[in-house]
Amino acid sequence: MYQDFYRLKKEPFHITPDPEFLFLSPSHKQALGSIIYGVKNRKGFVVITGEVGVGKTTVLRSYLEGVAKQKTKVIYIFNTSVSFKNLLKTIYKELGLDPKTGDIVEMLNDLYQILMEEYKQGNTVLLIADEAQNMPIETLENLRMLSNLETSKDKLIQIVLVGQYEFEEILNLFELRQLKQRIVIHSTIVPFTHQESMAYIKHRLDKAALNGSPVFTRGALKRIVKEAKGIPRILNILCDNALITGFGYKKRPVNAKIVNEVITDYYGGEKEISLLKLLITSGAVLLFIVLLLFFISNKNLILSKGKDILNRLKGVSISKVENPDVPRPLAGTPDTEQMESSGDRPKGSQPEQPPAAQP
């Protein structure tokens, strides 16, 4: 859509892996080398881990592009959330065979004979499990039985497990200790550095450009690299969206203002909410620190005032106990009337007697 405007022969920032745009950082090269070495020398288990979007699948695709297909039979497991029995069935199916029985032990014995025949013919059977962190623990634990299929020198089936960082934590589980002991090669793909991110974008633009005209300003590139934090997938998304938005504005090259707009649209209100939470949390912490410092600097005064208040409260309580209030009778009651009449007479006078009755 924007190729002609930016003088590109094709879109340089596709999310799907494209061997033509392959860019390998040192950690990508190490991971690719680990797979090549482990499979070629029949080492059994190879584990590749890395953050989401760092290019694990790209490394796998790169390996499969260069592998000798006529001598390598690849079994690629996309859905790793399977039982061990179903995994065995998938292996049989990819080898063009049907299991003769549903019993796992018998299936493993028959598979051993099949793999021995492939080995004698000089073929390599390779099992790749992508997103291995989703594989059930029981299935992972039983994978060691596949590694037991071997000759006196070599493993008959090569297994490459690719997963995110949490897969490393899963492998540390007690019930998977036997599997972990069988892992000969383990490589980790890390995010790009700032320089590698810049080189990655330049590499892709050079592959797609018709001439050397700039596509991004320096400020735009710095903003993209800072936001992507070395993750190739995010670099691709931000660059592609920036080119689309820049094309909409008819702006060439793409500047930092357009990139900021793309970043805001990409994250939506998520960053604003996170910033608000950060401000609230920081404000609460700052208020606590201020109150704490105020207390420390005025400790003696606060304690003195507190003692005065407590003493006053104690004094009021004691006064109420020693001089309780006597309830006064209500007006109009007999007691009240008697008190009032006695109060009107002078001291020593007798009550007035009624007159004697006349005969």
> How confident is the model at residue 318, as a pLDDT?
56
Note the residue count of the chain.
Answer: 359
- CATH number of the domain at 154, please: 3.40.50.300
Do both 204 and 141 map to the same domain?
no
How many domains, in total, are found in the chain? Answer: 2
Do both 42 and 69 map to the same domain?
yes
> How confident is the model at residue 324, as a pLDDT?
55
Do both 209 and 137 map to the same domain?
no
- Structural domain contains residue 207: yes
- Structural domain contains residue 163: yes
pTM, two decimals, is 0.72
**Which residues form the domain of 198?**
194-267
- Structural domain contains residue 314: no
Task: Tell me the residue type at 331.
Answer: A
Do both 138 and 184 map to the same domain?
yes
Q: How far is CA 266 from CA 2, 53, 263, 302, in A?
A: 19, 16, 5, 52
Task: Choose the final residue of a domain: 139, 164, 189.
Answer: 189
Tens of pLDDT, residues 157-210: 999 999 999 999 999 999 999 999 999 999 999 999 999 999 999 999 999 988
Of 127, 133, 159, the closest CA to residue 81 belongs to 133
Of 141, 131, 142, the closest CA to residue 165 belongs to 131
> How confident is the model at residue 329, as a pLDDT?
52
> How confident is the model at residue 350, as a pLDDT?
47
Do both 65 and 79 map to the same domain?
yes
User: Which run of H or E residues covers position 156?
Assistant: none
CA 291 – CA 302 distance, rounded (Å)? 12
- Could you give the percent of the chain with pLDDT greater than 90? 63
Helix (H, G, I), strand (E, B) or coil at 102: coil
Do both 70 and 87 map to the same domain?
yes
> How confident is the model at residue 353, as a pLDDT?
47
> With contact defined as beta carbons under 8 Å apart, do 6 and 204 qualify?
no
Q: How far is CA 236 from the centre of its chain?
A: 20
> How confident is the model at residue 349, as a pLDDT?
46
> How confident is the model at residue 66, as a pLDDT?
83
CA 225 – CA 330 distance, rounded (Å)? 88
Do both 80 and 164 map to the same domain?
yes
Tens of pLDDT, residues 242-264: 999 999 999 999 999 999 999 99
> How confident is the model at residue 286, as a pLDDT?
77
- Structural domain contains residue 352: no
User: Whose structure tokens read 């007479």?
Assistant: 345
- Structural domain contains residue 327: no
Angle at the Cα of 201 (from 200 to 206), degrees rounded to 5? Answer: 100
CA 40 – CA 122 distance, rounded (Å)? 11
Do both 174 and 115 map to the same domain?
yes
- Structural domain contains residue 19: no
Which positions of the chain have pLDDT values less than 50?
270-274, 330-331, 333-334, 336-359
Half-sphere exposure of 327 (CA within 13 A, CB side): 3
Do both 200 and 185 map to the same domain?
no
Do both 81 and 226 map to the same domain?
no
- Structural domain contains residue 136: yes
- Structural domain contains residue 210: yes
Task: Choose the final residue of a domain: 127, 155, 189.
Answer: 189
- CATH number of the domain at 258, please: 1.10.8.60
Do both 165 and 238 map to the same domain?
no
Task: Choose the final residue of a domain: 154, 189, 224.
Answer: 189
Do both 139 and 50 map to the same domain?
yes
Q: What token pair was written down for 68?
A: 């000798």
Q: Quick one: how many helices (H) and strands (E) in the chain?
A: 14, 5
